[in-house]
Amino acid sequence: MGFLRPVPMVKVGLIGLKADREAIVSLLHDLGVLQVEPLRKEALELQPAEHGTDLQRKVSDGLLRFRTLKGALPPAPAVAPMSFPTLDAILAAAAAVPIDPEVTDLKKEEDRLLSERRDVDDTVQILERHRDFTGRLGDLRSPRLLSFFGEATHDAYRKLRGEVQALGEAAFVEGPRTKETVRFLLAVPREQADAVGRLAQQAGVHLAALPALDGPIAEELPVLVRRRTAIDERLAAIRGRLGAIAAAWGPRVDALEEAFAIENRKFEAGARMGAGRDSFSLEGWVPRRRFAALEAAVRARTLDRAHLYPIPTDEEPPTLMDNPPGVRWFEFFIKFYSLPKASEFDPTWIFALAFPLFFGLMLGDAGYGAVILGICLWMIAGFPGGQHLPKSLRGFVTMIMGPKGMQLLARTLIPGCLLAIGLGVAFNAYFGVALPFYTGLFNPLRQASKLLLAAGYIGLGMVTVGFALGALKAYFHHHRRELAGRIGGIFFAWGIAGLGLLVIYKAFVLSNVLADLSLVSLLGGLLLILIGEGTQGLMALTEIVSHILSYLRLVGILLASAILALVINTVSRGMILGSGLPLLTHVVYIVIALVILVVGQGFNLVLGVFEPGIQGARLIFVEHFSKFYEGNGRPFQPFASQRLRTVAPPPPAAPPPTPPTGA
């Protein structure tokens, strides 16, 4: 576990005997510490990659077979994970599963019945809407005519009727009218059907083709309803039988699907390996701290017949982030922005410290902080009772991100909510209301200048840390000009900040020494920036100033929220306490005031989540990361699979020692 650094990686190569390949590949898969890479060109010239074998095709077919069975059966009951010692054991267990023909026939019948049920249900709905038509449906069909049932508003019906009758032959039979709609029967010549369909679409009228039935609606409807009931009964029987098959064979199907998926993954990794007549080789990345253990495991599994060795290389390794559990939650934001390269800093620690500080400071109200904290705890608990929320609200939440992402986001907001509650107590701010029985330690509205000064210092500190990390990165990568430019940025930032204090805060007792130091720092920083970045560095000077000043939004958002809450509370209170009004008018005012209070505070609460969250992340991503962070790393993807239904087979037993000669 490193601080501000991804896990150091080492590229390794492995060469061993073909006879040991299955054992080695299984070991690497079960350890899950190696990312297999394609062989280098020079290695492929010695040992070219192998093409697919018959055994690999058997595994691929088995995976497809059991994945299809798994999708066709209901979820299987949970049982103890199964063990398949070898690939031959997996193939033998798969051959002993006899349910494919029955499951296939049942699913085909189920699909056919579901399609028929949809057709029957659609026909029933059409006939129920037009059951006032008492004629025989078969009389409405002829080689020359097409008939449709329709329903439209009065205006749309008049428009469609006029346009269709203008085409020539057409017959309309009106059904009962309601206040909103007209139901009708339309018969048109077959050659005019397409034109009538276009006119109906333009008028916003839905036409349904006449069902292929002969008798009156009153006779056909009961027949269709009975058929629908029979279909439902057969579907229930099919699903019951599939459930019985799942209870008997489902756990084995799930286990074999997982086993075949693992073996298929092993063969896919094998496609990246090289093979000679009697040996094979592979290359990949492994965390440096795991190299010794991996080497020992490979040697033990093969009795020293395989060799694992480091490969010197200048390639960019894959990135593996390894932060403590509490900090690890904030990796979500870093990956959302861009995964760091393995050769640069991992800024998760910085984000984990800065983001809650920014969020809490911009929120700065104990009431809002407590409500958001409660919502976060509710999300972490798994959204209990969430099914009772309005459907539109549930849809809006799931549109942003999935439940797992929402829970992870909630964990990252908890420190900021706690800080907001603490600052709210210090500010005596509870939904914008000051409690009367004590005085806050600080009043943001009356002492905003001090908060702005503090925000400026925060901005100066974040910009300084960003340039410092950029300087360290340039030093480690031997980029001297970039190193000079980053150090120059630090000096320029402090110089401009010192001069700014002298100009703005004249009431402070500032000596001429500070002015001299600030001027020297500014000019020295300017010189270093010119050395490091040339004249293009001059463009960055205004960026440095703007980035420092950008942190003043920490206070701006806090004040905006406080003022909005104050306005909402003042307006509501004035309407509730209004005097000299008739009783009925006063009651109406109270109701309006409560609506303003609830809606306004709810709106301010929503802003209290989004504004501090978005702006806090932006201050880190833009004003801070731009000084040192490049990103665009590729994730470390170890050769491994998650086992839920199977267990890894035990390692093969070591052969007995050879007795000494002459024993």
pLDDT tens for residues 332-353? Answer: 999 989 999 999 999 999 999 9
Give tens-digit pLDDT for 154-202. Answer: 888 888 888 888 887 788 888 878 888 888 888 888 888 888 888 888 8
CA dihedral 250, 25, 342, 293 (to 10 degrees): 110
Q: What is the mean pLDDT of residues 233-242?
A: 95
* Mean confidence (pLDDT) of the chain: 88
Structure confidence by residue, pLDDT tens digits, 238-278: 999 999 999 999 999 999 999 999 999 988 888 888 888 88
Residue 524: its pLDDT value, please? 93
Per CATH, domain 110-230 is 3.40.50.280: no
What would the pLDDT profile of 417-460 be if each residue is shown by its tens digit? 999 999 999 999 999 999 988 888 889 988 898 899 999 999 99
Q: Is 59 within 8 Å of 260 (Cβ atoms)?
A: yes
Instruction: Determine the average pLDDT of the residues in 43-57.
Output: 77
| Cα–Cα distance list, 441 to 292, 415, 427, 433 (Å) | 57, 21, 6, 15
With bands split at pLDDT 50, 70 and 90, how would you rate the model's confidence at 648? confident
Dihedral sign for Cα 172, 176, 177, 182, please. Answer: negative
Concatenated DSSP letters for 65-90?
Answer: HHHHHHHHSPPPPP-PPEE--SHHHH
448 Cβ neighbours under 8 A, 6+ residues apart: 555, 559
Q: Which residue has the higher pLDDT, 659 or 628?
A: 628
> Tell me: the pLDDT tens digits for 417-427?
999 999 999 99
Amino acid identity, position 614: I
Dist CA 121 CA 144 (whole Å):
28
Q: Is the dihedral of CA 532, 536, 541, 547 positive or negative?
A: negative
Query: Phi then psi for 36, rounded to 5 degrees?
Result: -75, 130
Give the pLDDT of residue 282: 92
- So what's the pLDDT on residue 438? 84
- pLDDT on residue 508: 44
Q: What angle do CA 263, 268, 270 make, to 5 degrees?
A: 95
User: Does 362 score more than 70 pLDDT?
Assistant: yes
Query: Which residue in this structure is represented by tokens 């073909």?
Result: 18
Q: Residue 662's pLDDT is what? A: 46
Helix, strand, or coil here: 149?
strand
pLDDT tens, position by position, 82-110: 999 888 999 999 999 999 999 999 999 99
Identity of the amino acid at 325: P
Whose structure tokens read 């066709």?
72
Could you tell me the pTM of the whole model? 0.78
Per-residue model confidence as pLDDT tens digits over 622-642: 999 999 999 999 999 999 998
C-alpha to C-alpha distance for 475 and 492, rounded to whole angstroms: 19
Quick one: pLDDT at residue 507? 41
Question: Is the pLDDT assigned to residue 603 strictly greater than 70?
Answer: yes
What residue spans in the chain does CATH classification 3.30.70.2750 cover?
110-230
Q: How far apart are CA 490 and CA 402, in angstroms?
A: 41
Query: Which DSSP letter does residue 132 get?
Result: T
- The number of beta carbons lying within 10 Å of the beta carbon of residue 198 is 11
Q: Which of 184-188, 339-343, 373-377, 535-539 has the lowest mean pLDDT?
A: 535-539
In the chain the first and final C-alpha atoms are separated, in Å, by: 52
C-alpha span between 617 and 612 (Å, rounded) = 8
pLDDT at position 119 over 60: yes
Tell me what percent of the chain is helix, strand and coil, each rounded to the nearest 5. 65, 10, 25
pLDDT for the residue 585: 85
126 contacts 149 by C-beta, under 8 angstroms = yes
> Residue 643: which of 97, 355, 188, 265 has the closest Cα?
265
What is the reported pLDDT for 1?
57
pLDDT at position 613, please?
Answer: 92
Name the DSSP class of 580.
S
Residue 613's contacts (CB-CB under 8 Å, 6 or more residues apart) are: 359, 413
Averaged pLDDT for residues 410-417: 95
On whether the CB atoms of residues 245 and 99 are closer than 8 A, the answer is yes
Cβ atoms 293, 58 nearer than 8 A: no
pLDDT beyond 70 at 506: no
* Per-residue pLDDT tens over the stretch 141-153: 788 888 888 889 9
Residue 579, pLDDT above cutoff 80: no
Q: What angle, 0 to 180 degrees and rounded to 10, lies between the N-to-C axes of helices 366-380 and 403-427?
A: 160
Q: By percentage, how much of the chain surpasses pLDDT 70? A: 94
**What's the whole-number mean pLDDT along residues 381-402?**
71
